[in-house]
Structure 1
Amino acid sequence: MPFTTQRKVRFQHCDPAGIVFYPRYYEMLNSVVEDYFAEVVGHDFNRLHVTSRTGVPTARIETDFHAPSRLGETLDFELTIRDVGRTSLAIRTAVHCGGEPRLTCDATLVFVDLDSGRPLPWPEAMRCHFAIES
């Protein structure tokens, strides 16, 4: 089942024309990943980064922008797991507003040791929460 959440488009997300400035989408997408790890996987970023000294940086990202989003709108984010590798996680996040597609983002996250920067195999305590959607 996809992980769904919402984000309101705020002034801080917009350019002078009142539409979301594309780099701000990446901040919103990262916050959705952070919520997914906290709420579904049970490992919030504090636990990952501070306690475990691990992280999930983005190794690949590809985004299609379908339509602009405007100040004051509420965006629906739907994150699905596309594939689980030994050290990686392929995700797709679809963003809609009122049923209208705004963007689709395919990304690959890698589980890493923050001190060495080297990939690590997913612990079973995390891997068991990754349900692949077709």
Structure 2
Amino acid sequence: MTDDHAAVMAELRALATAAMDRIEPLLERALEVAAAVAEPDPDAPADPGAGCGWCPVCALVALLRGESHELLTLVAAQVAALLTLVRTLLDEHRPEPSEEGPAADPTPNRRAFVPIRVQTRDNPEA
């Protein structure tokens, strides 16, 4: 990997980490709201939209109202698991910091252009 590639990878890693840092509080809040909603009171009147646990429109309305919804809870849990997986992968493939910097790579770049000098002589026998 060249220095340019390492710089791009470092920037992408920083961008992914920043995005996950912003998304995680929203997911935590959604999961808290879902956990805070108590079981419905059996004596309370039935809610006409209570049986719609799969509809994305109802989920969006519940999100705007700050209410819990089955679909929102499921999506938030799945996205939280995905973010955990991405963070784990980023941590596993983090480059080891070296004191000498990226220029001190012990393996030479085998694809680099190496100029050579070619000398030709006239063959008197030909």
TM-score relative to the length of structure 1: 0.22
Structure in which a larger fraction of residues adopt strand: 1
Structure in which a larger fraction of residues adopt helix: 2
TM-score relative to the length of structure 2: 0.23
